[in-house]
Structures are given as C-alpha cells and as structure tokens.
Amino acid sequence: MTGWENHERIAAMTRSEAHYVRRLRVEEDDSWRGIAYECSRQWGGDWGDNQRAGMELCRRAALLLGEDYMSSPWN
C-alpha cells in the first residue's frame, strides 16, 4: 500500500497515461520520484515529487496494462 490508492487523479489514469508512465519507468529508467514529478507537472497533480505517489502511479499504470510494477521490466 502506498497511501495514494484513492487519489482521484491517479485513480482516473487512462491507458494512454499508463503508457506514458511505463515509458518513463521502463524506457527512460526514471525513478518513482521522477515519475511523480513529471506526471504532477504534466497532469496538474498535487503530489509533486512524492516517491509514494510515483509508486502508485507505476502500480496503477502497470495494472491498466496487465503488468506488475514490482516485476521486470518495471522494477
């Protein structure tokens, strides 16, 4: 549990946004903190560079894409 599971904006993630998060994490090897920052900036989120928010963004994106954010290639 990240503590961000019920955040409205993260819970409303689209498949397109999930692909964006996946690209940041898998292709660009971005950290959870970096992903949180980029998504917060792009989507007007209120979480800034919070690491746990980044974890939840990855968890949610992987879930939407039928993957596991704690397994390869995510982690």
pLDDT digits (tens, 9 = 90+) for 18-52: 999 999 999 999 999 999 999 999 999 999 999 99
Over pLDDT 90: what percentage of the chain?
A: 83
The answer to whether the beta carbons of residues 35 and 50 sit under 8 Å apart is: no
Model pTM? 0.93
| DSSP-assigned states of every residue in 6-62 | T-HHHHT--HHHHHHHHIIIIIS---HHHHHHHHHHHHT-S-TT-HHHHHHHHHHHH
For residue 34, the model assigns a pLDDT of 98
Residue partners of 56: CB distance under 8 A and separation at least 6: 2, 3, 4, 5, 7, 10
Over pLDDT 70: what percentage of the chain?
A: 97
